[in-house]
Amino acid sequence: MLTSKQRAYLIGLANSLDPIVQVGMQGVTPEVVRSAEEAFNTHELVKGAVQKNVLEDVRACAETLAERSRAEIVTVIGRKFIMYKPFKDKPVIVLPKKKAPQP
């Protein structure tokens, strides 16, 4: 689970990214999931977009895609979304540390 500080950091990194995952009229199909998984092979942070003709809610599409690709949603803004999935071996993006719980 990402903290608000970590989300803000990732949103800042994603500002310059173009959407590389597109959810089309059929919604989140196996092909879209495969596309997202391929993107996560080379990127830890992926921006996606949901086309205007999709009837399903943008957040629902993003949640379904994140669940199926085992990623975490950073944010959903308009018809775009950002997902984060760190590399298993050597993560490139270093997130701000979580604060220790207060006693």
pLDDT at 102: 67
Asked if residue 94 is part of any domain, the answer here is: no
* Summary mean pLDDT of the chain: 92
Q: pTM (2 decimals)?
A: 0.89
In a domain, 98, yes or no: no
12: domain range?
4-84
**44 found inside a domain:** yes
Tokens of 82: 């950002």
- Structural domain includes residue 22: yes
Classify residue 42 as exposed, middle or buried by CB count within 10 Å of its CB (0-12, 13-18, 19+).
exposed
Average pLDDT, stretch 58-69? 95
Residues 6 or more apart whose CB falls under 8 angstroms from that of 8 comprise none
